[in-house]
Amino acid sequence: MENFFIDDKFYSDIDSLLSDYDYDEEEIINLPDDWEVDCKESKLEPIFAFDEQYIVDSVLMNTDKWEDRFSEDSERIDNEIKEAIKKGFDILKINNSLPKLYYPNGNKFKITKQDLLDYIK
């Protein structure tokens, strides 16, 4: 079992769970036989994804420092900026380069006392 959540806490494996719970072998053996903890599976995903519209909106919302450089035909200029962004940015390459983290994927499972015993053997 790797990369899961218990409540909102991320665990990379059972070892990280045992470290967090501070359980040693004797404590695991002394757990009630019906001990279990609800877990959520996780999936490695980018922290977010850009799209062309987001980049265009971000640029156009932050033009204050260049305001004196824009013409009165702002709609035409906005469209040319949009086209330049579409042609100049490789959205797929940018998104593939973004950091990825583990997020719950909606699937649930349980870790039982027996799982812990199997792990420490």
Q: What do you get for the CA distance between the two ends of the chain, in Å? A: 15
H/E element, 100: strand 100-112
94 and 108 together in one domain: no
17 and 53 together in one domain: no
For the record, the structure tokens of 86 come out as 């579409």
Contact indicator for 47, 98 with CB cutoff of 8 Å? yes
Q: What is the pLDDT of residues 65-94, one digit of tens each?
A: 777 777 777 788 888 888 998 899 899 999
For the record, the structure tokens of 43 come out as 């999936």
- pLDDT above 90 (res 7): yes
52 and 40 together in one domain: no
pLDDT at 98: 95
Domain extent for 105: 1-45+101-121
Q: What is the pLDDT of residues 13-68, one digit of tens each?
A: 999 999 999 999 999 999 999 999 999 999 999 999 998 888 888 887 877 777 77
52 and 94 together in one domain: yes
Contact indicator for 18, 99 with CB cutoff of 8 Å? no
8 and 31 together in one domain: yes
pLDDT at 45: 96
37 and 56 together in one domain: no
39 and 55 together in one domain: no
70 and 52 together in one domain: yes
Q: Running DSSP on this structure, what letter comes out for residue 101?
A: E
For the record, the structure tokens of 27 come out as 């404590």
39 and 79 together in one domain: no
For the record, the structure tokens of 106 come out as 């909606």
Q: Collapsing DSSP states into helix, strand and coil, what is residue 70?
A: coil
Q: Say whether pTM exceeds 0.85.
A: no
In the beta sheet, which residues pair with residue 101? 45
Domains of the chain: total: 2
Q: How confident is the model at residue 10 (pLDDT cuts 50, 70, 90)?
A: very high
